[in-house]
Amino acid sequence: QALQQQLPDLDILHRPEELRPYECDGLSAYRTTPMLVAFPR
């Protein structure tokens, strides 16, 4: 929430179910769940 207040122009995903699609980047053998994902509005 503090980050969202500092960066109001970003949509921030932080719940585990929201982050699951972003845990690999093309190489499915290397999976790491990110701390958060940020998108510009």
pLDDT digits 0-9 by tens, 3-16 = 889 999 999 999 99
Number of domains in the chain: 1
pTM for this one?
Answer: 0.70
Distance CA 40, CA 17 (A): 20
Structural domain that includes position 29: 2-40
Q: What is the mean pLDDT of the chain?
A: 91
- Say if CB 33 and CB 18 are below 8 A apart: no
Per-residue pLDDT averaged across 26-33, rounded? 88
- Say if CB 26 and CB 3 are below 8 A apart: no
